[in-house]
Amino acid sequence: MIIKKLNDERIVGANIHVASSFFSRFKGLMLRKRLEQGEGLLLTKTKQIHTFWMLFPIDVLFLKKTEKDQYKIVAMKEKMKPWRIGKYIGTATDVLELAPGAIASHQIKIGEIIKKVMK
C-alpha cells in the first residue's frame, strides 16, 4: 500500500504493510534490522506502541481515522529509540511506523490528513 499526503499528493510511504491482527500488531517490527526509506507498518486499532526487541529507531505517526482510507495525524514521535514505551494517545485509532527521518524529510505536521492508496 502507498500512503500520501492529502493536500499535495506527496508520497509518505511507497511500501507500507498492514498489521491488523493481535499477533501481527504485537510482532510489529521486532527483530528487523532496519526500515528502508519509503517502508513502513500501519498498525490498526492501536493507541500506544512499544519498541521492545527493535534494533533501530523509528518515526511514529498516531492517526485518527476520519473517512474511508483517510487519517488525521493527531500526534507524532521522531526517532523513537528501541526499548521504549510510547505515550498513550487516546484519540488515535491507528499508528504508522516509518523509517527514521521520514517525518522531517516529508515535512509532516500534526493536523495533516494522509490517505491510503492501493498499489
Q: Summarize pLDDT for 42-77 with one digit per residue, the tens.
A: 999 999 999 999 999 999 999 999 989 999 999 999
Say what the pLDDT of residue 28 is.
80
3-state secondary structure 41-69: EEEECCCCCECCCCCCCEEEEEEEEEECC
Confidence tier at 40 by pLDDT (50, 70, 90)? very high
Domains of the chain and CATH, by start: 2-117 (2.60.120.1140)
Phi, psi of 112 (to 5 degrees): -70, 155
Asked whether 46 and 25 are in contact (CB, 8 A), the reply is yes
